[in-house]
Amino acid sequence: MFVVAGLFHPAHAAANDHPAIFAEYAASTIWAEVHLAQFVGMAVIVAGLLVLGAALDQGLWPARLGALFAVVALALYSVLQAVDGVGLKHAVDAWVAAPEAEKAARFASAEAIRWLEWGAKSYHTFALGTSLFLFAIAIYRSGFVSRPIGYLMGLAGIAYVVQGWILGSVGFDPAELPTVASILLNLAWSIWLIVFAWRNKSSDGL
């Protein structure tokens, strides 16, 4: 759901080319729906991590800390979607509609909100990456889940942390590679975990 919603997010212009990308954002008619769907998708991801944490929690501190960081990541994502899904949209709409004499000031306001978005996104990815890395440790130590799944989660966590560092420093465009890597790794370990759980359920006759 998170990935599919992102496909409808305006992104033809370079993300750090603010005049071009702000014009795209202002023209979007489904902005609120896309960002709400992304939030729901992230909430489902975090809920899944909490369920996994409950299954892994056999006195393992990495599972408990991983669950804590997952909740922090969702809280930060709600801030991010408020900034991006509401604040930035209103700011770019006001910039496009402003008379010429006000455009520079309106653009500066929109850009300030964009930089706030960089910060919120950066800390969200730090928290989510830390959560995934801790769950990877818990999987490795528990032996309850196939360890290669944990390796993929750990790599996804590292990709998120790298993404967060780049986002906080220079914005979206340079973070494209770790962003794509984190999405693909998340899909890989999620699908593998589903298959693993289904096979175990079938073998147990449940």
**Angstrom distance (rounded) from CA 161 to CA 140:** 20
Q: Are 142 and 59 in contact (CB under 8 A)?
A: no
**pLDDT given for residue 56 in this prediction:** 84
- What is the overall mean pLDDT for the chain? 92
- Could you read off the pLDDT of 20-34 as tens digits, one per residue? 999 999 999 999 999
Instruction: Give, in degrees to the nearest 5, the angle at Cα 185 between 16 and 117.
Output: 30
**Angstrom distance (rounded) from CA 169 to CA 179:** 15
- The parts of the chain modelled with pLDDT lower than 70 are 59, 202-206
